[in-house]
Amino acid sequence: MPQSKNMSEQLATVEQARQLGLLAEEFEHIKQILGRTPNFTELSIFSVMWSEHCSYKNSITLLKTLPRKGKKMLVEAGEENAGLIDIGHGLGCAFKIESHNHPSAIEPYQGAATGVGGIHRDIFTMGARPIASLNSLRFGNINNKKTQHLMRGVVKGIGDYGNCFGVPTVAGEVYFEDCYNTNILVNAMSVGIVKVGETVSAIAEGKGNPVYIVGSATGKDGIHGASFASGDLHDESHEDLPSVQVGDPFQEKLLLEATLEAIKTGAIVGMQDMGAAGITCSTSEMSAKGKHGMKIYLDKVPTRQKNMKGWEILLSESQERMLVVVKKGMEKDIEAVFDKWDLHCEIIGEVIEGELLQYYMHGELIAEVPAESLVLGGGAPIYQRESKEPEYIKAIKSFDANAIAIPTDLKAVAKKLASNPNIANKRWITVQYDSMVGVKNTSTNLKSDASLIRIIGKNKGLAVTTDCNSRYVFSDPYVGAMIAVSEAARNIVCSGAEPAAITNCLNFGNPYNPEVYWQFSNAIKGMGDACRKFDTPVTGGNVSFYNQSEEGPVYPTPTIGMVGVLEDFKNQMTLDFINSGNVIMLIGKATDDIACSEYLKDIHGITKSPVPHFDLNDEYALQQTIKDLIRNQLIYSAHDVSEGGLFTTLLESAMVNSLGFEIETDATIRKDAYLFGEGQSRVVVSTSSEKAFVIENICKEYGVPVNVLGTVTDGKISIDGEQFGNTIDYKNLYDNAIGQYMTQEVAV
């Protein structure tokens, strides 16, 4: 492709390529694609589109091994901006999770807020109305003043944006680990509803069709944000503040309503939101998918600042903007809708034949590149990096539980764990979110392992959850990732629903580090095996590499967002004990295992130990058993055993209605392991004495161990005849721990 004669911009250099995050060999590849040396604008285009954030160049080979087909799938992973599954009654559920880690570490409020806004746009750009928001958050040591500053900003950003936009935040998870002191993780998930057949694709086709930009004006915020998200954080990262976008939830609400109304006109050919890489990404991905080119006149783009350069307009990541291709002749239909909602709606170009993207500024062609060369699956480079087992695995393998003494005062241990920030109630965070805002659909807000959302007009609902214990993945990426998927499915099942599909947000360190790549590749294998077992295909998601600093990488954190379908609300299940005197049963195998538990870290200070006991076949059998018990209305409550072990599970079930429990432990298992160990594939249920026998027989049919633990009491806790105190005392510790951490004087 020879250089057009009217492109006057100075040619780029290999040094500029390096500064923009490209390798020298990638610069040479660009020259081969173009048949010439790119100018700076063209180099900037390639730098953002070939960044890890946009191209997945170091991950796509492994991602393609994940299962992407299933009986409820309406589109395959990667086909659209979000996953789409069939939930019956002519309805589809669109959902996706993405990261906004680096921006949130620099400017926590706007970083988190725009993460929420961006993921919602992915949903309504497809034509779905967002009905629920979830998140998965990771912070550093809660005693650290910086952690508290970041946490306040992130939580307020999520709450303010979601509450103003009118979509409830219904579920999530929060963990604290030292490895996140510099690199916090902020993963946001959106769930929406759409009528099957009324979705819109992110595609550009039809010669002569006009190309519109709609929504907010374009500013200089977020420029090179995709490149920023594809590098390690360092001491000078605060200087990259312009790479953090600024959000406006009220503008996004207008854009949502206008977009859904515009779709009904039948005038829209294709549409895509502008996230990472802005106009560059939207034009290239839509064009490549439609096998057409575009002529784009950048001086026609509404801007917030005067005299913006062409490359700044191209790369801006200003929020609340969409690119829309409209059927020629129906311009007035679209313009009338956006004018009604008082939003910018400007023609900035047209669809052309061929593969070229041509960008003009004041009549001058400033960049000309083939769309296909920019995108994932097209010309973007693909790598598989060196992999090596980390050195720390040796320490994990050498762990000896027999060397750990059982504390003499297990009551004190129980009370300390109740206020452990990874176990304690997250209400300091959740009270800042509105879980009931909006009227399109409602959360039940009942205490269950997954959040349940009613589908208006139907006696059915959706169960949604986010899950990942990154310490498990650190200890064993393969098994830890399987556990993440399994726990998500277990939470869905314990709520009465059937797991349907997942979206993932894969947060790892630098992929050029062989130990990080080993973690990543093994986590993908574990995730894939678990998804195939539960028939929960991967609908899409996000890869976030470079989550590391001078202190090293974060724990590998493959966050799982799962959606399940509750076919009949009569099968809704909660986690709370109902009545004193009810029988408490443990379904699943109790193991003599304290490895990788909060107990082991918090009480004994040990952070390197094997992953807790887990067997995928046992997990599958357990979940089938729980489904059967719920369908036959044999149990009153169900709550899975996770962080904090059996004691925490019992406590959380008891506290809801201010009840207690009286249980006997297993003498063949060390007592600290029985109470606080985190061996997987276990669920605590409550039932009547009359139904207990039936439950035991059903468990035998599935080959799943079952044990009567004891009974629900009026408010006291007794273990092996020893009084452990009153539930109310534990509840005070559990409910107030996070708030007390956030108000105490701490060291920088």
388 and 332 in contact (C-beta within 8 Å)?
no
Eight-class DSSP state of 297: E
For residues 493 and 272, give the distance between their C-alpha atoms in angstroms, rounded to a whole number: 34
Among 559, 459, 437, 508, which Cα is nearest to 135's? 559
53 is catalytic: yes
What is the three-state SS of 361-377? ECCEEEEEEEHHHHCCC
Rg, the chain, Cα only:
26
- Residues in Cβ contact with 487 at an 8 Å cutoff, skipping those fewer than 6 apart: 467, 469, 560, 640, 642, 680
For residues 44 and 518, give the distance between their C-alpha atoms in angstroms, rounded to a whole number: 31
- Tokens found for residue 103: 């921006």
What is the three-state SS of 485-533? HHHHHHHHHHCCCEEEEEEEEEECCCCCCHHHHHHHHHHHHHHHHHHHH
238 is catalytic: no
For residues 193 and 308, give the distance between their C-alpha atoms in angstroms, rounded to a whole number: 38
- Residues in Cβ contact with 413 at an 8 Å cutoff, skipping those fewer than 6 apart: 407, 599, 603, 672, 676
- Residues in Cβ contact with 232 at an 8 Å cutoff, skipping those fewer than 6 apart: 510, 546, 548, 549
Amino acid at 726: N
- Tokens found for residue 538: 């991967």
- Give burial (CB, 10 Å; 0-12/13-18/19+) of 235: exposed
Residue of 53, 224, 292, 613 marked active site: 53
284 and 374 in contact (C-beta within 8 Å)?
yes
For residues 653 and 658, give the distance between their C-alpha atoms in angstroms, rounded to a whole number: 9
DSSP string, 393-404: HHHHHT--GGGS
Q: Tokens 């890890």 — which residue?
A: 52
Among 462, 523, 524, 465, which Cα is nearest to 489's? 465
Q: Tokens 């991967």 — which residue?
A: 538
- List strand residue ranges (DSSP E) for 140-290, in order: 169-176, 185-195, 210-215, 268-273
Q: What Å distances lie between residue 189 and 30, 135, 564, CA to CA?
A: 35, 6, 15
- List strand residue ranges (DSSP E) for 71-184, in order: 83-88, 91-99, 129-139, 169-176
- Tokens found for residue 554: 């974060």
Among 123, 143, 116, which Cα is nearest to 81's? 123
Among 137, 640, 114, which Cα is nearest to 428's? 137
For residues 28 and 13, give the distance between their C-alpha atoms in angstroms, rounded to a whole number: 10
Q: What Å distances lie between residue 455 and 91, 97, 131, 642, 746, CA to CA?
A: 10, 21, 10, 29, 45
283 and 323 in contact (C-beta within 8 Å)?
yes
Among 22, 67, 71, which Cα is nearest to 44's? 22
Residue of 29, 89, 100, 344 marked active site: 100
Which residues does the annotation mark as catalytic?
53, 100
